[in-house]
């Protein structure tokens, strides 16, 4: 089972700032089968990024993903008020799929 570690646990930023979230895997994630999800309080998660860097349908281009192997990142270049949420990375492509523990992006 691939264990995902996310850092930092909490990121305190102001609207308009840049956010960089990290996701590290315990072993190499094949074919960059790494996704990112956003979850707001009381809501279901929403797919943002898959294949490490492909944006899902309807996701604004201020969100971008990068990385390969064991190190991946999600960048939000200019935080909008609606971007303050918890972000999870996930590896897929083989079972069991696993999620990271999440990074909370909060308003500073």
Residues that bind other proteins (CB under 8 A): 1, 31, 33, 35, 37, 39, 43-47, 50-51, 56, 88, 90, 92-102
Nearest residue (CB) to other proteins, 44 versus 81: 44
Is the distance from CB of 83 to CB of 45 less than 8 angstroms?
A: no
Residue partners of 81: CB distance under 8 A and separation at least 6 = 15, 107
The residue with tokens 């990375």 is 89
Nearest residue (CB) to other proteins, 31 versus 75: 31
Nearest residue (CB) to other proteins, 9 versus 81: 9
Closest CA to 40 of 9, 81, 3, 12: 81
CB 15, min distance to other proteins, A: 25
């Amino acid at each position: 089972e691939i264990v995902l570690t996310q850092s930092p646990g909490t990121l305190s930023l102001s609207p308009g700032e840049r956010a960089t979230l990290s996701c590290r895997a315990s072993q190499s994630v094949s074919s960059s089968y790494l996704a990112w999800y956003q979850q707001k309080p009381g809501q279901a998660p929403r797919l943002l990024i898959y294949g490490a860097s492909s944006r899902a349908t309807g996701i604004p281009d201020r969100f971008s993903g990068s990385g390969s192997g064991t190190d991946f990142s999600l960048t939000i270049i200019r935080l909008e008020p609606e971007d303050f949420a918890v972000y999870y990375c996930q590896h897929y492509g083989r079972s069991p799929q696993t999620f990271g523990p999440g990074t909370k992006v909060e308003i500073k």
